[in-house]
């Protein structure tokens, strides 16, 4: 292996030092937020509220986990929310038409994956910056979804299908089990596989990665397709949870997913971050939103507070990384 290859594949080693320190700070933040909210509101530590926080965090995580891989390559996917909406509406139509939840789930996953792959094609083949390509795709998907639904709402899905997003198993919401499964898969893929190391290498230095023989184009297509497929999975969870699908279902999902990735420590410049960090980011964001609801903070102020937290998280992350 050449020196360039060794350098390009080196970022995962930082998980044992720099990223471990960042993870400690984020876990400390989770503890402090929980302690403050427990003091301010007696209902925060109730079992029902804790399970609700975990369920909401899992929904954000499904979208943000795929997005993490994109950001690790120094890219961005602004179309994930619109992708969720289109995939949910298409999957809901298939379930209503065929009566088969399995076919609907497969259709939703395929729809999300195809949208993600198209994003990857625009970024790699057409060389459009990911921010512009996915922002354009956001508007295309919104237009398609509103045209497809024609102002109608789908509702009334089979009871078995609704258990995916609303059911419990041994006292825990089923989405939490799915979160644990995909958290394990995502962490193993990013940290323990050659493909995952190549994704870090592309984000750290795409020129060195290409010179070292890494198939950059194919890896970028892969990460955008994975991001789209995870959006498709989130669409199934939302469809099952809400028991309905309408064109505007994904309008409020993109920014929280991006916020979870950034709060979790993944760098917008690529090459730094972990899927587990994104889970912690989704948990912190959900705890803050949950706390504001419990404390009856006006909905008009919540986006302001969330934005300040994201800015502070990114600033502190950059500052501590410079020190380490």
Nearest to 9 by CA among 187, 188, 183, 211: 211
CA 254-258-264 angle, 5° bins: 145
Element (H, E) at 313: helix 302-323
Which helix (H) or strand (E) element contains residue 172? strand 172-173
pTM: 0.88
For residue 197, give every residue at least 6 positions away whose Cβ sits within 8 Å of its Cβ, in sequence order, or none: 9, 11, 12
The predicted structure's pLDDT at residue 17? 59
Contact between residue 134 and residue 76 where contact means Cβ atoms under 8 Å apart:
yes
Q: Evaluate if residue 163 carries a pLDDT over 60.
A: yes
- Rounded CA Rg of the chain: 20
The pLDDT tens digits for 69-98 are 999 999 999 999 999 999 999 999 999 999
- Residue 128: the pLDDT is 95
- Residue 115 in tokens: 């949208």
**Which residues have CB under 8 Å from 311's CB, separation 6+?**
none
| Confidence tier at 4 by pLDDT (50, 70, 90) | very low
Three-class secondary structure of residue 300 per DSSP: coil
Assess contact for 85 and 251: CB atoms under 8 A: yes
Exposed, middle or buried: residue 156 (CB in 10 Å: 0-12, 13-18, 19+)? exposed
Q: What is the mean pLDDT of residues 207-236?
A: 94
pLDDT (0 to 100) of residue 201? 94
Do 68 and 266 touch, CB atoms closer than 8 A?
A: yes
On the 0-12 / 13-18 / 19+ scale of CB atoms within 10 A, 280 is buried
Model confidence at 5: pLDDT above 80 = no
Question: Virtual CA dihedral for 292, 294, 295, 297, nearest 10 degrees?
Answer: 40
Mean pLDDT, rounded, of the chain: 88
Those residues whose C-beta lies under 8 Å from the C-beta of residue 43, and which sit 6 or more positions away, are 49, 294
Q: What is the arithmetic mean of pLDDT over 154-170? A: 90
- Whether the per-residue pLDDT at 221 is higher than 70: the answer is yes
For residue 310 the two structure tokens come to 């994201």
3-state secondary structure of 173: strand
Q: Where are the alpha helices (DSSP H) in the chain?
A: 3-8, 18-40, 47-72, 80-98, 101-124, 130-149, 159-166, 174-192, 194-204, 206-211, 216-242, 254-263, 275-294, 302-323
């Amino acid at each position: 292996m050449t020196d360039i290859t060794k350098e390009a594949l080196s970022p995962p080693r930082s998980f044992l030092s720099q990223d471990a320190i960042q993870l400690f700070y984020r876990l400390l933040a989770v503890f402090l937020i929980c302690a403050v909210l427990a003091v301010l509101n007696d209902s925060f530590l109730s079992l029902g509220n804790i399970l609700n926080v975990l369920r909401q965090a899992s929904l954000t995580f499904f979208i943000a986990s795929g997005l993490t891989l994109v950001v690790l390559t120094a890219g961005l996917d602004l179309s994930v929310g619109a992708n969720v909406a289109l995939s949910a509406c298409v999957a809901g139509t298939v379930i209503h038409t065929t009566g088969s939840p399995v076919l609907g789930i497969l259709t939703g996953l395929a729809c999300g994956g195809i949208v993600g792959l198209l994003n990857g094609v625009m970024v790699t083949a057409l060389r459009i910056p990911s921010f512009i390509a996915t922002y354009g795709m956001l508007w295309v998907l919104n237009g398609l979804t509103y045209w497809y639904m024609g102002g109608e709402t789908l509702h009334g899905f089979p009871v078995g299908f609704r258990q995916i997003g609303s059911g419990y198993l041994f006292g825990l919401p089923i989405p939490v089990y799915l979160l644990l499964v995909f958290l394990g898969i995502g962490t193993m893929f990013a940290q323990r596989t050659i493909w995952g190391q190549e994704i870090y290498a592309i984000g750290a230095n795409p020129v060195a990665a290409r010179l070292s023989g890494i198939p950059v184009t194919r890896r970028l297509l892969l990460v955008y397709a994975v991001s789209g497929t995870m959006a498709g999975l989130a669409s199934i969870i939302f469809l099952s949870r809400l028991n309905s699908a309408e064109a505007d279902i994904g309008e409020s999902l993109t920014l929280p997913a991006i916020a979870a990735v950034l709060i979790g420590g993944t760098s917008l410049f690529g090459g730094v971050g972990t899927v587990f960090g994104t889970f912690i980011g989704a948990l912190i964001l959900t705890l803050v939103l949950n706390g504001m609801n419990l404390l009856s903070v006006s909905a008009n102020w919540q986006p302001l507070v969330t934005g300040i937290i994201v800015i502070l998280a990114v600033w502190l992350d950059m500052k501590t990384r410079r020190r380490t």
